Structure 1
């Protein structure tokens, strides 16, 4: 039996030695780096930043090149001579086009401001997601600690019960106590053992929750550093003070404010459709045709004109000189060089009637603004409700904690007296167990309430951006 106990002790020590120990900072950093929801919120922030940068780039000119080459069959228009031909035609066009918007109802400028507000809102959403995760990690971290403390208190209570059972077994053998008292004590020990099993399960559930927040595999043997200070003093800020700080500092509230500003700018973007669009454009281009040929002068020929000179009865024909040419094809790049042309001009597009699209876009933008304002108002309203409930829970926890401290001191004194009287045979096991159960419950309730009060204070700190 001793050898088996020694082996079990070695296994426990070895398991504890290999179990990883986490500090609160490590848990928070791991969760922030691995949590999928936070990463997705970060991607949304990056997407909003891209939209903001693109809105700024829209002010720059557009420059595009073009090129094509193709064959035409049948009757076609030669792009070089602009005449009809029935020959197979191979043609090509190339060019460079540039344009810049000079005025479009301030649409681009308002779009820059709108996307800038949207990006700021996305940044605050990312901060809020991280803050929410940090708070949940802290609360889960503390839940593991309170589960460990309650489990340790219960195990200490079990040792006291076992000690009394050992003493009761001796008294039963000596005939100074009845066997029913021993069975009562053993029944009490069974209840405490069942309670320990449940508490061990609660501890593992708390560790599982913490591991899931950190997005790491479940570690049943994980150990946590006890660096969190538990609050014992009454919380300093009142409920209205917490609400005022939350409305001023919470990222969620600020994000909604930027969304409202973005929706306001969206109305101006929609109204820009009522104004004309003025743009400046320029282009350079050239073309090629396989039917285009170069004429080179060669010989000069004399041909009759059909007229003559009459001298008396004699007629002398009149001739004229004709320049003869030889034809040769012109290369692709030479034609492109020779046919190069340029264009520059101003374009104005004035909206007259577009099926009421602009009007309906403005109406939709106004409705979106109203909905965004209602969402912000509802968020602030729910935030006030949550803070009021959290502050009330904190106050209740503190009052319970103060009363339980006094109760524990009284039950400790009662148990010491009951233990002395039980060992002296003045009271029976049932009376002793009542005193012990009162003390046990008081210890567990005090530990739980102290952590609960710390939970509540940290939630209130969270609302104030601390």
Structure 2
């Protein structure tokens, strides 16, 4: 039983180790998602979008009335005014004031309304910038992804060329042992094989550098223990059908940098209207509710009623009888805190108009500055569109040139493949020289390398155009 458990444990550990060493296959979309998720620039743009949304919400909330409360406690010494009776007293008085005040702007030249539209346009511009940052990351990942795939194919091509040289060297070594060939012929082929080994090493280094660039864009630790999913060459090598103008028109509708420039121009136009509103009178409604307390506040309290004779009298049967009246007796006592606050409540409401007559021409100059900013945003928008057209035209020209080079390279490979086949047959038959063989092989190797590079160059140029033509 122990032996069985030991064998099962060994098998399980071996399977786990093999699974851990198995390269993980990543798709292009997984690489893009990882890069966007881990990008600091994208996260910063997201925070800027959140801040713009808060500014937009605040602009809407500015339409609501304000409500503020106040509490003030103080001590007066010496001659002062009793806040309870408004009469002069000469004593130490503790006093307190409580108040609530509210203001509501009824009209201010549509300043608040235009501020809402301005901040809303700014929020849309920030959102477009956020989308543009994600699109830029996406494009960079696609290009880095293609570089990794191209270097992988370079490695495969270099190994294939090296294998041809190795087989030829092995054949010549056997012939050299038999004395059937001249030794320099073998040395020429060995040198060719070593050059092939160098090409393999160089291709592997290029692959590692491309993979490092991709992992840095994804913001993950560098590792060679994952592979990339291959792309469909049939679709990737299809001719590009859209024209440069079609790509440009689609880019105008989709590119975040264009949308951001357009929204900032709209925001600047609303800023002009908002600042012009400052030149109009402001109509506002205000109200307040207040109460106060004074330690000097007192009230008289009835203690007793006593009969006191007066100087008046009444005649009864000719006899003067004095008149007795009731006289109250009061005691003074302080009014408590809560009673004063309740009894001293007073409120007010009113409507006012604030007319800007002269404020050092601040309102007029703010309008002029807002107009300058609008003109600047219009120039920025025009410049962004102009740069976009130039980029699209350059990308389209690069794609066209890459397509032509790819077609010519394919024809060149076919021609050199036939030439190498004939040279190899002659060389194996002992008729051709090593110089002819190596020249034909080098020509074919260069042609295959050019075909590989032009193929990926065309695919890369198409991806750039697809980035604009979404």
Match of 1:133? 137
Give the Å deviation of 1:195.
2.0
Decide whether the 8 Å contact of 2:154 with 2:203 is kept in 1.
Answer: yes
Deviation larger for 251-260 or 332-341: 251-260
Deviation larger for 62-71 or 29-38: 62-71
Q: Establish whether residue 368 from structure 1 lines up as the match of residue 365 from structure 2.
A: no
Cα deviation per residue 1:130-152 (whole Å; 9 max; x = unaligned)?
11111211111111111101111
Give the Å deviation of 1:47.
1.1
Output the CA distance in 2 between the equivalents of 1:289 and 1:381.
74
Q: For 1:124, which of 128, 144, 147 is the aligned residue?
A: 128
Q: For 1:242, which of 247, 253, 267 is the aligned residue?
A: 247
Give the Å deviation of 1:288.
0.7
Q: Establish whether residue 185 from structure 1 lines up as the match of residue 198 from structure 2.
A: no
Decide whether the 8 Å contact of 1:107 with 1:269 is kept in 2.
Answer: yes
- In structure 1, runs of 5+ residues without a counterpart are 1-9, 310-316
Match of 1:204? 208
Structural RMSD (CA): 2.4
Decide whether the 8 Å contact of 1:276 with 1:351 is kept in 2.
Answer: yes
Cα deviation per residue 1:400-435 (whole Å; 9 max; x = unaligned)?
000011111111111111111111111222221111
Q: For 2:285, which of 277, 280, 283 is the aligned residue?
A: 280
Q: Establish whether residue 174 from structure 1 lines up as the match of residue 155 from structure 2.
A: no
Output the CA distance in 1 between the equivalents of 2:77 and 2:449.
96
Structure 1 segment 399-410 matched on structure 2, within 5 A: 399-410=404-415
State how many pairs are aligned. Answer: 446
Cα deviation per residue 1:128-178 (whole Å; 9 max; x = unaligned)?
111111121111111111110111110111111111111122222222222
Give the Å deviation of 1:319.
11
Cα deviation per residue 1:242-275 (whole Å; 9 max; x = unaligned)?
2222223322212211111110010111111111
Match of 1:56? 60
Output the CA distance in 2 between the equivalents of 1:220 and 1:73.
84
Q: For 1:392, which of 378, 383, 397 is the aligned residue?
A: 397
Q: Establish whether residue 252 from structure 1 lines up as the match of residue 262 from structure 2.
A: no
Give the Å deviation of 1:396.
0.4
Output the CA distance in 2 between the equivalents of 1:14 and 1:172.
44
Give the Å deviation of 1:228.
4.5
Cα deviation per residue 1:285-327 (whole Å; 9 max; x = unaligned)?
101111111211234689999x999xxxxxxx99998643212
TM-score normalised according to structure 2 size:
0.89
Structure 1 segment 27-426 matched on structure 2, within 5 A: 27-229=31-233, 231-299=236-304, 323-426=328-431
The alpha-carbon distance between structure 1 residues 302 and 75, as it changes in their structure 2 partners (threshold 3 A), is farther
Give the Å deviation of 1:18.
3.7
Give the Å deviation of 1:44.
1.1
Give the Å deviation of 1:279.
0.6
Output the CA distance in 1 between the equivalents of 2:108 and 2:40.
42
Output the CA distance in 2 between the equivalents of 1:201 and 1:71.
84
SS at structure 1 position matched to 2:84: coil
Output the CA distance in 2 between the equivalents of 1:19 and 1:337.
80
Output the CA distance in 2 between the equivalents of 1:400 and 1:171.
41
SS at structure 1 position matched to 2:236: coil
